[in-house]
Copies of this chain bind each other. A is one copy, B any other.
Amino acid sequence: MDSDLIEKRRSQILAASMDAFAEKGYHDTKISDIAERLGIGHGTFYRYFKNKLDIFFAVVDGFLAQIKVVVEEEAPQFSDSVESYRSQIRRIGGRMLRLFMADTRMARIIFFQALGVDPALDARLFSIKTLADSMVEAYLANGIVKGFLRPDLDTAVLSRAINAMTLGAAFDILFAANPSETGNRWIEAVSLLMLSGMAKP
């Protein structure tokens, strides 16, 4: 199949681009850098991607799509007790953090390079954030309805706060000596914080 070869080439270029962007950032990465990493002519690059922005978009969007999947696959209505909610937090948090752990390059690009390159890409990132916020807010609303969360929660703000912590965790993991242990500590600490707060009972 021709389109298989094309797809293969595209992924090779995508992979090399991720390396390059993660290492040097968008502006300091030259198309010829990417081509050199693959040992191909730089003209070849343009057979597979329209231009430099096009591939950066592809790189970032591929990751955002994965996040979107995690966000959308969950079912907020599922939990009906603090305990099942705690499991849910652990599971979603874990999946999200594993996404960031899976590819350090990607995390690096998201945190250090993605913003400010292009307005359309900024908007894309923004929309994912908004989606994630809504999803978390639905969980909180479900918890209130089911009666295991306080009825007076400011769900709009708290959902954003929770996602901010998720990002904080992903960022922290990026520099952690032991990422998966660090991830677990975050999940435990944040789920404790969320459900019980820090005050001594």
A200: chain B residues within 8 A (beta carbon): 147-151
Q: Would you call A122 an interface residue if the criterion is a C-beta within 8 Å of the partner chain's C-beta atoms?
A: yes
Partner of A153, one of B171, B182, B194, B198: B198
The answer to whether A169 touches B158 (Cβ under 8 A) is: no
Q: Shortest beta-carbon distance, A199 to chain B, in Å?
A: 5
The answer to whether A157 touches B140 (Cβ under 8 A) is: no
> Which residue from chain B places its CB closest to the CB of A24 in the assembled complex?
B116
Chain A, interface residues (CB within 8 Å), range: 35 or more
Bound Cα distance A171, B115 (Å): 13
A196: chain B residues within 8 A (beta carbon): 196-197, 199
Bound Cα distance A167, B172 (Å): 14
Q: Among residues 127 to 153 in chain A, which have CB atoms less than 8 Å away from a CB atom of chain B?
A: 140, 143, 147-151, 153
Partner of A193, one of B82, B113, B193, B201: B193
Interface centre among A122, A143, A198 (most CB of B within 10 A): A198
Q: With A27-B27, A161-B169, A197-B198 given, can you name 19 additional A-B contacts, CB distance below 8 Å?
A: A26-B116, A111-B115, A112-B116, A148-B200, A150-B200, A150-B201, A153-B192, A154-B189, A157-B182, A160-B169, A161-B165, A161-B193, A164-B167, A164-B168, A164-B171, A165-B165, A167-B168, A195-B198, A196-B196
